[in-house]
Amino acid sequence: MMRANYRLMHKNIPVVDIILDEITGSIREIYDVHYFDHLPIGIGDTKDKINLRGLNAWFLGRRIPSSRQGIKDALEQLGYLDTAWLIEKCFGLSLSDQYWINPIDKSLEWKDINFFTNDFSEDMGDLMFGQYSDEIHWMLKDNPDFDLMSPDNTSDGWLKKKWKIIDGKRYLIKAGSNAYHQEAYNEVIATRIMERLGVNHVPYHLLVEDDEPYSVCENFITPDTELVTAAYILNIEPKENHVSKYQHFLALCSQLGISNVQEEIDKMLVIDYLIVNIDRHLNNFGAVRHAETLEWVGVAPIFDSGASFWFDTATHILGSAKHLKSKPFKNKHHDQIKLVKNFNWLDLSKLDGIEEEVRDIFAGSVFVDEVRREAIVDGLGQRITDLQEIIDRYDYSVDEIRQDVKEHESYSGNY
């Protein structure tokens, strides 16, 4: 009988002993459970039994997605068939949470290997950015100078990206895509909008190297906290057919004790409407909790807003919202914005003059020409106008409801 070869850890807390499959890199078996409460949220476990399939899906969800730009070439150079193998090479460590796998025969300590307080290799990130050639570095896994101890092995998303330590802080550098490479610029524009509106967010900055634009942001997760995405929160309990995904998410957050969720989601939906974000999927928003105490810090700041401003739309039809879809609660922006319960916090006059900031952000871009830039500026202006009209209609309908209630109370009082 095989013995467990790894122990899933939550920072310094042992969670469960596991066997990793030698061929697939997945979790084959579960052994002793040490601290049930520290299992990852939303894997479908019960107090009587751990859901192996759910735990395995969570574990393999830590790998680089197969859709990542450049991952196929990187795997060929490394001599691996699947990105699941890369998880083991960095002990499953991430810069998004505090989970990791501890080899039973080594008994490592989190303080000595975590990526928050220790240096890590940038080799994998450099490989993903094409800084190694097949001729010189063929079969890199056999090259003793190539180090796979990196958080790049467990980073999510399809865009080319890498982690880098700058002045002791952890920064994520992310590239763009398609002909316009617009995502990096969009992150900075979204940052400026949220700064003006007072919305909690992760600030992004623009880095241009050899005409290639990259967005740069500091990690908002600390050595003591972790991100729990909406995808896993929604998996805590099955949704009943008559309940919407939006209602289900709010109810589960309330059940967990996460505060101010509806207010923060309102703000996220407003921002996504303004920037025409088409990819607010369930893994790029959520909540932050303390890893050791499991206490909730609150809703995560807004991050990963690059798939916006018609980033992959041809310039001659840019500005049209006709064919654009939204996520995560409704598939059309004009339907999703109706979920917002309160606009009282929002003052769109704070966006006056934002057009010049947008022009400055795109200045010098070799991918976004003047025609496209002005179309984006005009499109943003129209979104602001459209949202103000929605708010005005909302205020009017609320006043009507209040008046109806007042008249009803007055009428009822005569009897």
Say which residues have a Cβ less than 8 Å from residue 169's Cβ, sequence separation at least 6. 218, 219
Domain residue limits, the chain: 6-174, 225-402
Which long-range contacts does 43-46 make (Cβ < 8 Å, 24+ apart)? 43/232, 43/235, 44/235
* Residues contacting 402, CB < 8 A, separation 6+: none
pLDDT of 372 > 60? The answer is yes
CB 94, CB 221: distance < 8 Å: no
pLDDT digits (tens, 9 = 90+) for 9-67: 999 999 999 999 888 888 999 988 999 999 999 997 776 688 899 999 999 999 887 77
The rounded distance, in Å, linking the Cα atoms of 276 and 337 is 11
Calpha distance 65→67 (Å, rounded): 5
Confidence band for 299, pLDDT divided at 50, 70 and 90: very high
Q: Which helix (H) or strand (E) holds 396?
A: helix 370-412
Q: Tokens standing for 51?
A: 């859901």
Say if CB 95 and CB 163 are below 8 A apart. yes
* Rounded Cα gap, residues 368 and 181, in angstroms: 8
Helix (H) or strand (E) holding 274: helix 261-275
pLDDT, residue 45, reads 73
Question: Three-state DSSP class for 335?
Answer: helix
Give the contacts of 21 (CB within 8 A, at least 6 positions apart).
Answer: 27, 28
Residue 397 pLDDT greater than 70, yes or no: no
CB neighbour list of residue 127: distance below 8 Å, 6 or more residues apart: 74, 77, 78, 140
pLDDT tens for residues 75-111? 777 777 677 788 888 999 999 999 999 999 888 999 9
**pLDDT of 243-296, one tens digit each?**
999 999 999 999 999 999 999 999 999 999 999 999 999 999 999 999 999 999
Using alpha carbons, select from 349, 320, 334, 322 the residue that is nearest to residue 393. Answer: 334
Q: Residue 125 is inside which H or E element, if any?
A: helix 123-128
CA distance 162 to 124: 8
| pTM more than 0.85 | yes
Q: With contact defined as beta carbons under 8 Å apart, do 385 and 233 qualify? A: no
Instruction: Please give the backbone phi and psi of residue 10, each rounded to the nearest 5 degrees, phi first.
Output: -120, 90
Greater confidence, 414 or 69?
69
Q: In the CATH hierarchy, which top-level class contains the domain 225-402?
A: mainly alpha
